[in-house]
Structure 1
Amino acid sequence: MRSGHYEVAVIGGGAAGLMCAMVAAGRGRRVLVLERANRVGKKILMSGGGRCNFTNTGTGPENYISANPHFCKSALARYTPWHFLEMVERHRIAWHEKELGQLFCDESSKLIVRMLLDECAKVGVRIETECDISAVAVGDDGRFRIDSRLGRTTADRLVVASGGLSIPSMGASGFGYELARQFGHGVLPTRAGLVPLTLSGKHLERLDGLSGVSLPVEASAGGAAFRNAMLVTHRGLSGPAILQVSSYWQPGDGLRLDLLPGQDALGLLQRWQRERPDAELKTLLSEALPRRFAQRLCEHWLPSRPMKQYTSPQLREMAATLGAWPIVASGTEGYRTAEVTLGGVDTDGVSSSTFESRLLPGLHFIGEVLDVTGWLGGYNFQWAWASGHAAGQAV
């Protein structure tokens, strides 16, 4: 069975792949999308608690991690959050800003997938799901030969939009990295990003029974700091602040948590000592922090007694603990729950304007398969839209 010839074949029917396909087909190209899962856009569907945090209005190069921090600039400048928002509004999808520039659907992430599919259908994109690829090669005529359940497909240009290793239950695999290596591209070491951190031993035992407790913190690791909510889990720590800093944390790194972000911890303790000298520390901390968390702090990290009994040096020491609570993470929950994959195809071998391989003409890499990883909050989707759009204009 022969599948025929296409001007553009896109491997991966996620955010980047669908964007690239619709843009390329809109320019008159004959486009085929091959998706190994049973439906396209699975990560879109599960994102944002099913409401899809589809972009972030504050998107800039500083919101991305890459060995080459300049690589993302061109695509992000050419396709902005406002471009994507225009398409969302054209499809009459209601949206709202949650916090920090994060835009979500009012109703369901299914509407974003439907919008992308409608746009693809309008310009004649062919989409095939449950389509594992067994081999990719380049023929003597320079065309790409792709073997799958469709038989052999040939294409003038091949776009790899197969994503990273995060959430394998959604169909994630390392296929894109294997393909990159096959054609001589370097692949930088990968690891889980935007992922809960795990604790072990006494560090986990000390938080036993606090699963579900949430509080605002500023989490710092690897030279980065993020202020947002932290959630205690039965395996360690999660919540937006922890997910954000996890992309910068490496095994062995220190992790510091400011438990009173934006507040003067020493000034607060001194005021309590002046105004409520007979009150115990754990009672007062329970007014500033979740009660169970405050009590546990006083069991293991801060000795609780009436405020009048503390010396000035002791107050300073306690303030230092509250402002930089030391917690030792043993690892992460890994790709199983990670929202993104750090590392990937080395951008030195890829054009930042067309996303075409510098080693093999006609081969393009877009989206998460590349060594470009965004922060939590819609940045990774914006990278998918921007890189997909740039490649779609070039193929």
Structure 2
Amino acid sequence: MTLRTAVIGGGTVSEVHLSGLSKNPRTELVAICDLDEEIATAKAEKYGIQAYTDLDELLAAENLDWAHVCTPVQTHVPVAKTVIDAGVPVQIEKPITETYAEFEELAEYAAEHGVTVSEKHNHNFDPVVRQARKRMESGECGTIKGVEVIYTGCSNPDDPNRGPWNFDLAGGEFEEGLPHPIYMTLRAGGYPRSEDDVQATTQLMGEYEYDFTYDGAMVQYVSDDDVLCRTTMLGGTRPVRQLMIHGTEMSLTADLISQTLVEHDRNYKAGGKGRALNNVDNVIDRVAGTIQNLRAVIKRSNSDDWDTERLLNAHYYQNHAESIALEAGDPSQMPVPLSESRWMVRLMEEIRTAAAESAEEGAPIDAEAITQDAE
């Protein structure tokens, strides 16, 4: 069985969906839908599929088993609801919704109709992140005390990478990228014990033409398993993107940029020798990881084997796992549960709230208004 699949939205991010679905032996890519006929036609010609500019027409004609929504976040709820009405499972690009209220609306709608909804959380399936979580889940790290994700070098709010629709978000293009480090923290560290355990801090460091409220954010909480979790996100810096897992027996640093995993299993405080050996260990891990990645890249360049590609491409990996779950008709097997998306949106809402409060506190004082109120 192959899943008849279509992509809705032909913007920047649609390409990785189209390419992966066209290669996945479990999916049959049949159509692309975009309001812009020129974009839809160009994508359709590239992949040998049908082009549509009307979503209802697509759903009526193609008898889909799966749809991928790659439209602006402001349209996710109405587009997804239309797909759900047709009884078609849907994967939605991050962020799944713009607000927490919208998420609850969408989740309730999907549950009422018995249709599976998921969100793209690709970095959770990066090769190095899968390695780190495997080591952590095997117990090698001992008791996990903390999880940190550093995700800097993000886009500035006014960068037009995804399109001008991003400028309507409180954090602009910067906000559009926040789901990545947040869902990584949730997956590795666990969900917050409660909403009261979440603390968010933001800053607006740049000057922009639009009324953005933040271009840097930090969110932290304590998880159900008593893990201290923290996520730091900055726009406009040099990129540093790492997942750090702190355990009693061993800590790990998964570097997303180099896709290398560094083990911290030596007590460098024992003396000068320990510090020197700790440095040697770090270098060895980096070199070994780099060699492993080079071999994988060479293997991929010399082969179009799907298993080789999906193991190296996090988007493909998630799609492959979801296609298996959909074929089995078992939503519990979906690699990205809606519970993870729910907390991701909730934490983003905390960040936006903190940014709005900070902007209000920093607003210039209207002396004339104060005088009038006093009178």
**What's the TM-score once normalised by structure 2's chain length?**
0.26
Of Structure 1 and Structure 2, the greater helix share is in: 2
**What's the TM-score once normalised by structure 1's chain length?**
0.25
Of Structure 1 and Structure 2, the greater strand share is in: 1
